[in-house]
Chain A
Amino acid sequence: GQQVMQIPQYQHVQEGEDFTTYCNSSTTLSNIQWYKQRPGGHPVFLIQLVKSGEVKKQKRLTFQFGEAKKNSSLHITATQTTDVGTYFCAGRNSGNTPLVFGKGTRLSVIA
């Protein structure tokens, strides 16, 4: 079945450093979504990418969808303590298939 791998599992950064998490699918995806889960909270939708090679920005966050639609990345520039949490990617195959989540990358930011 479809698998979504995400690396790294954990990342500790100093405040102000950059952070990147990578997502790879075993199959071609129709779209990919990113979610953030704060400690003790529930996942909250950040963005959806649909097109091959698509790049979207939200302030300090940059999201990319690979040309082959099998990988994606989230890059945070100049991390802040408010960025702390676990970032999940989630992808769907073409067709009527469920959204499959990666295991997430837990980001810690040291002030």
Chain B
Amino acid sequence: KAGVTQTPRYLIKTRGQQVTLSCSPISGHRSVSWYQQTPGQGLQFLFEYFSETQRNKGNFPGRFSGRQFSNSRSEMNVSTLELGDSALYLCASSLAGVNTGELFFGEGSRLTVL
């Protein structure tokens, strides 16, 4: 069974640009979560989607947005990039619905903003 696939794995952008990251969950998983990982802050929750609906949203500015498609694939977008957006963006999928289920993480998309 294929794992969680994230693309691109690495990318470099400049301030003010926008970026779209993609996540394909494990087949059959309907829940997708996104986390931002930085050395000082650990894993910070961005969004959680279930069956195309945003179920939860973390404490990030409106420049961060996401969506989930009918095939459970998810994308997140960051507009007007800032230097502080440099981070590893991790996507995780899970089988279950509410309040249960381990997360299966992808390898992440490492974003560098110059």
- Chain A residues with a Cβ under 8 A of chain B: 1, 30-31, 33, 35, 41-45, 48, 88, 90, 92, 94-104
Q: Chain B residues with Cβ under 8 A from A103's Cβ? A: 41-42
Chain B contact surface mostly: strand
Q: Are B99 and A42 in contact (CB under 8 A)?
A: no
- Given A96-B55, A98-B33, A103-B42, A43–B105 Cβ distance below 8 Å? yes
Question: Chain B: interface residue count, which band?
Answer: 20 to 34
- Given A101-B35, A102-B42, A103-B41, A95–B99 Cβ distance below 8 Å? yes
- Given A42-B105, A43-B90, A92–B99 Cβ distance below 8 Å? yes
CA distance A95 to B48 in the complex (A): 14
Q: Are B103 and A94 in contact (CB under 8 A)?
A: no
Could you show 13 A-B contacts with beta carbons less than 8 Å apart? A41-B107, A42-B106, A43-B43, A43-B105, A44-B105, A45-B102, A48-B102, A88-B43, A95-B99, A99-B45, A99-B103, A101-B35, A104-B43
Chain A contact surface mostly: loop
Q: Are B45 and A45 in contact (CB under 8 A)?
A: no
Whether a CB of chain A sits under 8 angstroms from the CB of B56 is yes
CA distance A102 to B104 in the complex (A): 17
Whether a CB of chain A sits under 8 angstroms from the CB of B25 is no
The smallest C-beta distance from A89 to any residue of chain B, in angstroms, reads: 11
Restricting to B78-114, which residues have a CB under 8 Å from any CB of A?
A: 90, 92, 98-100, 102-108
Q: Chain B residues with Cβ under 8 A from A35's Cβ? A: 103
Q: Chain A residues with Cβ under 8 A from B33's Cβ? A: 98-99
Whether a CB of chain A sits under 8 angstroms from the CB of B70 is no
Q: Chain B residues with Cβ under 8 A from A33's Cβ? A: 102-103
The residue on A at minimum CB distance from B92 is A43
Q: Chain B residues with Cβ under 8 A from A1's Cβ? A: 59
Interface-central residue, A33, A41, A45, by most chain B CB under 10 Å: A45
Q: Are A45 and B104 in contact (CB under 8 A)?
A: yes
